[in-house]
Structure 1
Amino acid sequence: MAVLKVIEVLANSSVSWEEATKSALEQASKSVKNIRSVYVNEQSATVKDGKIDDYRVNVKITFEVK
């Protein structure tokens, strides 16, 4: 039986929500091992001059505790 833990990570990107999600995973991977999944919990964006300025995600990252 595996024991799993979930953490929440906030990340942003000037390109897309997908890039923000990738960034969250890359940063979490630096200190968290055995990552099993990423769940995008929430997406938002900031707007500047009528255009999206910054894409933001709140993700839940699940990893196995050994």
Structure 2
Amino acid sequence: MAPTPLIAGNWKMNGLLKELGELQTLAEAAGAGLNQGRDILICPPATMLSASFGILGHHVAVGGQDC
């Protein structure tokens, strides 16, 4: 069985809460099945982890960086 490809994005240690709308777009795309056959992981700054979990739900994994 082939491994599932992982698409990961490391959101650098900057960013504003108003940019979380981009995560909403990603969550909607993943929920529509655009991530079929692959896993998606986003690693936002620590200050945005909690909000990111709330937006992304279970379609996109959330990880911490420099924790």
| Superposition TM-score, scaled by structure 1 size | 0.27
Judging by fraction of residues, say which structure has more helix: 2
Judging by fraction of residues, say which structure has more strand: 1
Identify which of structures 1 and 2 has the higher relative contact order when contacts are C-alpha pairs closer than 8 Å and 6+ apart. 1
| Superposition TM-score, scaled by structure 2 size | 0.27
Larger Rg: 1
